[in-house]
Amino acid sequence: MGGFVVARFGAGTNFAVDALSFSVVLMVLHRWRETAKTSVLPAERFTGAIRAGLRYVRYSPELRTVLVRTASFVVSGSALWALLPIVVRELRRGPSAYGVLLGSLGSGALIGAALLPSVRGRLSLDALVGTATAFFGVATLASAFVHSFPLLILLMLLAGVGWIALLSSLNVATRAVVPAWIQARALAVYLLVFQGGMALGSLIWGAMATHFGVRAALAAAGAFLLLTIPLTVGHSLKGGQAMDLASAPTWPEPQMSIDRPQDSAPVLVTVQYKIDPLRLQEFRGEMEKMEAFRRRDGALQWGLFADPITPGCYLEEFVVESWLGHERQHERVTVTDQLLHDRVWALHLGAEPPRVRHFIADERPR
């Protein structure tokens, strides 16, 4: 629709119509009825919520994989969007032709959206993202050598199919690898990477077009897109599909008997394990995952210590910014986290479970 308006009425009218279309979005937001909160804890503070989101990104390899795949595509994929107006000008055509090409991209996206449900049942997420990248890469590369306007329209249709398939897949992948409590923040980081990659890529390919020509820039961007397909094999998106991110139903609430404000001071949590020396390697491997789990959900520091006198005696320690933060840790545990916790505790020797203790920083007047 935007391409049609540009072709028929010009860019100014297109921006005006686009601005008016947001009135529909405002109406939807005005009528939105927020669902009831499931948490009984107070809402997070703004800066603390941002830190929690960034901490989750740092200690979630599945989410980082999605972000790496996003950046690897969008930095090169931005070239077509940034340089398409110059291609139209080199073909000695005007805004109407540019609008037609934009309309072709949009039509390709509609075609891709219609095909996606059936394609998703046949291809894995990695295969779908790879195929979509190939479509957009071939269209970008070919546009560097095509001087026929009708053929360029066909390439834009192909690019539109790849664009919508890839964006839809990465958007779904972002939400699929994180639990509900962090989804909005994960999507915000994804959009930051995506839009930042578009801006950075446009700058890079614009500079290259200035020095080497628009055709050379498009050819290089298309080639880079195709090269990212084998280079991202080590960053598979299927890792997050095996996780069960529903809230763990059996995780107990931490207990505190003293009368102290919930959000007053740092909390140190210790867990003491007794491990069979023959299973130490297995224990250490699981504790590497435990560190990521603790830090991802709120631990500021984490450590594992061995008793030099008693073989197999280990102490896990982690620090949370407050008692309220520790309660949020318990609330954020997923089924996958619970399974990891159960595997670690199953390695503990003895009839009694590992001993868990909590210590709150003593904030005495100085």
Which residue type is seen at 49? A
Q: How far apart are CA 62 and CA 22, in angstroms?
A: 34
Give Cα separations from 261 to 268, 322, 324, 325 (angstroms): 16, 9, 9, 12
**pLDDT value, residue 22:** 94
Q: Which residue has the tokens 């590497």?
A: 288
pLDDT of residue 95: 80
Q: How far apart are CA 79 and CA 106, in angstroms?
A: 17
pLDDT tens for the chain, 366 residues: list them. 777 787 788 888 989 999 999 999 999 999 988 776 666 677 788 888 999 999 999 999 999 999 999 999 999 999 999 999 999 999 988 888 888 898 899 999 999 999 999 998 888 888 899 999 999 999 999 999 999 999 999 999 999 999 999 999 999 999 999 999 999 999 999 999 999 999 999 999 999 999 999 999 999 999 999 999 887 777 788 766 678 888 887 777 777 666 655 567 899 999 999 999 999 999 999 999 999 999 999 999 999 999 999 999 999 999 999 888 898 998 899 999 999 999 999 999 988 999 999 998 876 655
Q: Which domains does the chain have, with CATH numbers?
A: 41-240 (1.20.1250.20), 267-360 (3.30.70.100)
User: What is the SS3 assignment for 314?
Assistant: strand
Tokens describing residue 260: 């102290």
pTM given for the model? 0.86
173 neighbors 125 (Cβ within 8 angstroms): yes
Kindly list the distances between the CA atom of residue 364 and the CA atoms of 161, 184, 265, 361, in Å, as whole numbers in the listed order: 64, 39, 11, 9
Task: Name residues whose C-beta falls within 8 Å of residue 62's C-beta, 6 or more positions apart in sequence.
Answer: 177, 239, 240, 243
One-letter amino acid identity for 89?
R
User: According to the model, what pLDDT value does residue 16 have?
Assistant: 93
Nearest 5°: the CA angle 235, 236, 238 is 150
